[in-house]
Structure 1
Amino acid sequence: MAWSQSNSVELTCTNKWFETPDSVSFELSSSNESAQFNFKPGQFSSLGFDINGGKAYRAYSISSVPGSRSLKFTVKRVAGGLVSNHIVENLEVGAKVDAQAPLGNFNNIDCTPKSKVLMVSAGCGITPVMSMVDHWLQDKTPIDIEFLHLAKSKQDTIYYDRLIELDSNVTNFTLKMLLEDNTGTSFPQGLISLEWLEKLVPDFHARTVYLCGPTGFMEVVKSALEHACFDMAQFHQESFTPAEAVSESTGGVVRVAVPDFAVELEADEGSLLIDALERGGVPVIAACRSGICGSCKCKVKVGQVDSTSFETLSDEDKANGFVLACSSTIKSNVEVSLN
């Protein structure tokens, strides 16, 4: 499949099913039946859905393996979430979805594993690590996999049957399931301490660790590893919820101009650039809205912003004034370009 970083491709939803009561998996396919999708296991794609007469984008991890004829995604409902609720409730087979080229440094190609790995996930964070695992198993990579996953209950565990199948039938795959309803291994306060890590995976020091899940969960796991003097060069993590830029109005008013689209409007000084661009009808994509996916990259040609994230931006990009609109607050009158 030919991907372009600047353009999206239109795909069709060809299958959809529930994984848990509040999460669904769906597959997107190209009109070219021979097309195969190439990406690095663990990466994500920004998807655009037609909602309320407009196009809404969000970034989701790809849970299928490279070379497949379709892209698989698993999405969990978020309370008040515009896109996640649309996907769970209203996305139908046959619907058209825009997809941008896969991105993300959290993958098992750039993050090279040792001969032993520890995959740690919670909730929907299981999606990118399962793509990595399935890739290793499909390619028959000689790698020993310990899989540690946390969920509320068996019913709420995404890919539960698949995990049990792998644990039963694959000799180099070992599952450790932690369930908050205490039907699995009991543990305190829904988090993993160093004591539990040492108990569940005694040889974790000999493994490469891949971690994905809610922010608080990941902070606890990372802290436990650091406390254990783990070699953090062998630690890799992903999250779509980093520290976000926060709109903090100072009471002043600034001007935001986008000449390419004949847009000029006023905004509160200290407000987010993405909010001003969207309010002006500028066709900027904000998929993750947390400074990770890079889809809202734009160039500040005049004026000043403060940015909290530079993910996917090269040193050359930064030197040329490119920023991520979702992670940048406006500090003066600015002129912006999407090119």
Structure 2
Amino acid sequence: MTNYTLKVTEIRRETDDTITLCFKQPGLKKIKYIAGQYLTLIFRINGRRYIRPYSFSSCPGVDSFLEVTIKRVENGLVSNHINDMVKVGDSIEAMPPMGDFIFEPNDDLTDVYFWGVGSGITPLISIIKHILNSTEHINVHLNYGNKNQETTIFKDQIEALKTNYAERLTIRHFHTKLVLDEGNPYLIQGRIDQAKALSILDAKLDPNCCSHYICGPTGLKESVKSAIQTKFGRLINVYSEDFELVKDPKDFIDIHTQQIALTFEGKLHKLEIAKGKTILEAALDADIELPYSCQTGNCSTCKGKVMNGAIKMIGLTKERNDLEEDEYLLCCSHPLTENVQIEIQN
């Protein structure tokens, strides 16, 4: 995998705790991506390498820059570093675009619903711009939750889209900290829960003619999916982006602290994997710079081959049929036996 070096051309302030990094396309080898995918950035902070994936907020064919939007996370080392330290003119290493949270067109599609909270808007805005620009018949419905107007990322950009595509774009803002404005039916107080999602879905709509894109916390996904299931009797054309692994404590009953052997770049490492820690986390803590990207089991960057012993993947939200029987994603893998041997093949 060949990485890129991208130069920061502009830094756009979206909210008090969120910025957009605008990168100039490389001169020789242009970066090709699909709306909804993510760009993985690599940083060195105090001598240690950190890798973080950030969804594109730009749209190919619409925006001239490659843009990713980063919200400051409490105690988030990398997000705080980006918000505080990155400057215009800086060069940042990036991995090729990845991700399958992309628009899936079909001839019957008439309506696309987007459900997001906070920074979950990032891939959604990219896909929305793509649909509005590349189609003429698809109606777009954006349902977006925030604390208030001041914390709404892309507020001006969303309003501009509404002006330009008034007949096809419906926007509903959900604010948890707000004095209700009775004169604005598209400004709704509270969170996007199942009841509110149900009230938005048109009962006359054919579920085969609409699709749903969800990006936000687990509660949002559960609420929206429950509403879709209740309204239409089934889940169809529903896509979600996952920023974190969902771990059930019951999955760890048979997991214990174990020693493993890990071979990487021809060197053998002995690692202790504490219960609850993934093999990738333990390796990074030991300053072994394994390849990785999403850390949610959605890509294959951290794939390893089990040569001996048994391990278990925990927290996957999407079934992976592309892995061989002895291949595992180390970002969500935990040893089951004490004789585990893993090889990272370049």
- What is the TM-score of this pair, normalised by structure 2? 0.85
Out of 51, 63, 71, the residue aligned to residue 57 of structure 1 is 51
CA distance in 1, matches of 2:4, 2:106: 27
Q: Kindly tell me: are residues 26 and 248 of structure 1, through their superposed partners in 2, closer, same or farther at Cα, counting changes over 3 Å? A: farther
CA distance in 2, matches of 1:46, 1:10: 12
Contact map agreement 2:25 2:31 (CA 8 A) in 1: no
Contact map agreement 2:246 2:316 (CA 8 A) in 1: no
Contact map agreement 1:205 1:230 (CA 8 A) in 2: no
The answer as to 2:323 corresponding to 1:317 is yes
Q: Tell me the residue number matched to 1:172.
A: 168
After superposition, the C-alpha distances for 1:238-284 in whole angstroms (9 at most, x for unaligned) are 12123148888966542323163423224146442113322443321
Secondary structure at 1:233 match in 2: coil
Q: Tell me the residue number matched to 2:97.
A: 102
The answer as to 2:223 corresponding to 1:220 is yes
Out of 238, 259, 262, the residue aligned to residue 257 of structure 1 is 262
Contact map agreement 1:9 1:99 (CA 8 A) in 2: yes
CA distance in 2, matches of 1:37, 1:260: 28
Secondary structure at 1:163 match in 2: helix
Q: Kindly tell me: are residues 153 and 27 of structure 1, through their superposed partners in 2, closer, same or farther at Cα, counting changes over 3 Å? A: same
Letter in 2 for 1:193: Q
Contact map agreement 2:306 2:327 (CA 8 A) in 1: yes
Alpha-carbon distance, 1:117 to partner:
1.2
Letter in 2 for 1:305: I
Alpha-carbon distance, 1:302 to partner:
2.4
Q: Tell me the residue number matched to 2:197.
A: 197
After superposition, the C-alpha distances for 1:71-102 in whole angstroms (9 at most, x for unaligned) are 11111111111111111111112222222222
The answer as to 2:299 corresponding to 1:305 is no
Letter in 1 for 2:102: N
CA distance in 2, matches of 1:91, 1:231: 46
The answer as to 2:228 corresponding to 1:234 is no
The answer as to 2:23 corresponding to 1:17 is no
Q: Tell me the residue number matched to 1:157.
A: 152
Q: Kindly tell me: are residues 98 and 293 of structure 1, through their superposed partners in 2, closer, same or farther at Cα, counting changes over 3 Å? A: farther
Alpha-carbon distance, 1:35 to partner:
5.2
Q: Tell me the residue number matched to 1:277.
A: 283
Q: Tell me the residue number matched to 1:85.
A: 80
CA distance in 2, matches of 1:113, 1:37: 31
Contact map agreement 1:260 1:337 (CA 8 A) in 2: no
CA distance in 1, matches of 2:149, 2:156: 10
The answer as to 2:118 corresponding to 1:117 is no
Q: Kindly tell me: are residues 198 and 255 of structure 1, through their superposed partners in 2, closer, same or farther at Cα, counting changes over 3 Å? A: closer
Contact map agreement 1:25 1:72 (CA 8 A) in 2: yes
Letter in 1 for 2:176: E
CA distance in 1, matches of 2:292, 2:188: 39
CA distance in 1, matches of 2:218, 2:317: 17
Letter in 2 for 1:159: F
The answer as to 2:31 corresponding to 1:37 is yes
Q: Tell me the residue number matched to 1:3.
A: none
Q: Tell me the residue number matched to 2:134.
A: 139
CA distance in 1, matches of 2:2, 2:248: 26
- What is the TM-score of this pair, normalised by structure 1? 0.86
Letter in 2 for 1:45: L
Q: CA RMSD in A?
A: 2.8
Which of 111-120 and 55-64 deviates more? 111-120
Secondary structure at 1:232 match in 2: coil
CA distance in 1, matches of 2:255, 2:112: 48
Contact map agreement 1:299 1:322 (CA 8 A) in 2: yes
After superposition, the C-alpha distances for 1:201-255 in whole angstroms (9 at most, x for unaligned) are 4358442211111121221111122122354222221121231488889665423
Alpha-carbon distance, 1:309 to partner:
5.3
